Amino acid sequence: MTAFLRAGTSIKSIADVISMAANTIGTICVMIMVAIVNYDIFARSLFNKPFLGAVEVVQFLMVAVVFLQLPDVVRVGRLTRSDGFLLLVDRRHPKIGSMQRRVIDLVSAIFMVLVAIAMWPEFVEMWATNDYFGVPGVFTAPWWPIKLIIFSSASLCGLLFVFKALGFASKRHGDPS
């Protein structure tokens, strides 16, 4: 049992570091989006030379940002949710509240694993066919990187939810003291 706890703690630590790194990359993507939009506005206004593909890049990066930052949001327990009922139960029956949270985390883990399972064949297909989005001759980019980001994010979120369900999680935001 002690070896299981040590291994779980080690894997959780690695997952935490990966989720923080992905969050940082997501933040950098936000800054890149801001730069692209500003460049497009100024180039369009001042030189009548818009950045061709700005819309496609921003669309791509918006999806990337959401899925790059999602694991860290799960890690720190900051998902948007309505937890009024859980807070009431926690005050009166802390053990039942804890059990409900673990069940919710387990269901969330299952959902994220299902998302990852659904995304894997799409990633493999996009990798093999080198399918792209955008306007040919203007701007195109392959789909596979975004499919890989979604698959990786969902997998990592599933793992983090499993750790929460097993009680490996640190204190969450909004949990009672």
How many whole angstroms separate alpha carbon 31 and alpha carbon 67?
Answer: 16
What digits encode the pLDDT tens for the residues 38-97?
999 999 999 999 998 999 999 999 999 999 999 999 999 888 777 788 888 888 999 998
State how far the Cα of 140 lies from the Cα of 154, in Å rounded to an integer: 26
pLDDT band at 176 (very low <50, low <70, confident <90, very high): very low
Give the pLDDT of residue 84.
80
Sequence-distant (6+) residues with CB within 8 A of 83 are 174
Q: Dihedral (C-alpha) 173, 81, 57, 50: value to the nearest 10 degrees? A: -100
Of the pLDDT bands very low, low, confident and very high (cuts 50, 70, 90), residue 170 is low
Calculate what percentage of the chain has a pLDDT beyond 90.
Answer: 72
17: which residues sit within 8 A by CB, 6+ positions away? none
pTM exceeds 0.95:
no
pLDDT of residue 8: 78
pLDDT band at residue 118 using 50, 70 and 90 as cut-offs: very high
